[in-house]
Structure 1
Amino acid sequence: MDKTVSDLPTAVAVVEDGMTVMIGGFGGSGAPIELIHALIDRFVATGAPKNLTVVNNNAGNGHVGLAALIEQGMVAKLICSFPRSADPKVFTERYLAGEIELELVPQGTLAERIRAGGAGIPAFYTPTSYGTDLAEGKPVEEFDGRPYVRENWLKADVALIKAYKGDRLGNLVFNKAARNFNPLMATAAAVTVAQVTEIVEPGTIDPEAVVTPGIFVQGVVAVADPAQEEDLNRANAVYPPRAA
């Protein structure tokens, strides 16, 4: 039952070519920067994993985190709500060059598709996107005189998420706004790996405070001083670091 993972390279070893990977975060809040960078390190060293489908709220910013993952050419398709975020230069260039596919999903619909995947609900109906290009080709039904678009669940092979604290059994708590897509994604993936600031003993976390129960988590790795995407971008950081 001990789900502690010794280091970041071991934590991301579960990701393989062609997988669908959910990555937590709402902008930089709750983004598992260290897990993403460990995945990039593995790619630089071995050439794998690649051809990934990534599910995230946005398309990354600057040259770190998700943007760096895209910049390395590891992502074949991005499913997100906000491809035009603060500094989406990397994604924009690759998209315009035809090097990455985009599936645009309204934010509430994205969250519900992930929640449905975790709850075992294959599809649901929503009025959002009706009459727009995003609803093209999707089934439409009428309820109480209003048209609704059918959306399918969204599941992943692996979820990479960030929490504030976790115990050895995988129970997680989150720091304020970092509790965004992370808890939903943990339920919708076959394997969930969480980076946490601190790993504590079972029973240390008040059961009433647990947001993600350990049953949804397969690996917990400690990152004592996690980076914040916005801080890295203000410092003009690039990952992997470029030679001077």
Structure 2
Amino acid sequence: MQNIRLPFEHLNLRWNPFGEVPAEERGGLAVLDIERFVPRLAKPGFAVEFVGDCGRGKSTRLRYLWDHFEGAPFLRVEELPPSGLFAKLWPGQQRSGGKLPAKWPSPEVGLLFLDEAQFLSRGQRRRFLTPQCSFAVATHESLAADFERAGLAYESVAVGGVSVELVDGIIRRRIEWSRRSAGPVPCVPGPVIEELIARHGDNIRAIERHLYEVFQGLSGVCDVEVRYLD
């Protein structure tokens, strides 16, 4: 009988560590220091926004906080049509399902997570943002003026900038996430991380895409070398 070799078995991995991560697992892989927002979000009247360009980790931070609040709705605004925002909010956006409250704001919902919040229209922001609820927001442009208008206390976090230590932590966590069994696995040394940062800056998503291609071509467990990046 012919032996069947599993993908990435030669690397002691179950899959490519830098492939797409299921949404529900992204928070658990994050290397962050944002725990301080958890108690503030548990009470009404507070908003935290993560502001930055694509690929910098805004949504990752949002998912990380979301993991602390079972049942809180998570809304990706850009996937919704220009109208019907509230009709689309609850079905399919909440872990346990649920119905749209008869009126907004609702005592049934004290915290909302909004990804791509820059796509909210001015009218939606005026209606949506209320001090009777708290919000965690990922956005390309700050909603600070809208939070102030709504009477919300808020904190803005600029997302961007990386260090070798931060990227190393992200890479190690991704590799451990895909580990098949005990024993050696591929390693990405410091000089390679420095070169990745030199090429991609603080775009973590671009660094991960680059490493995806590198790991696709590895023939065995090794320390990745700078020459593998080309």
TM over 0.5: no
Identify, as 1 or 2, the structure richer in helix.
2
Larger radius of gyration: 2
Q: Which has the higher strand share?
A: 1
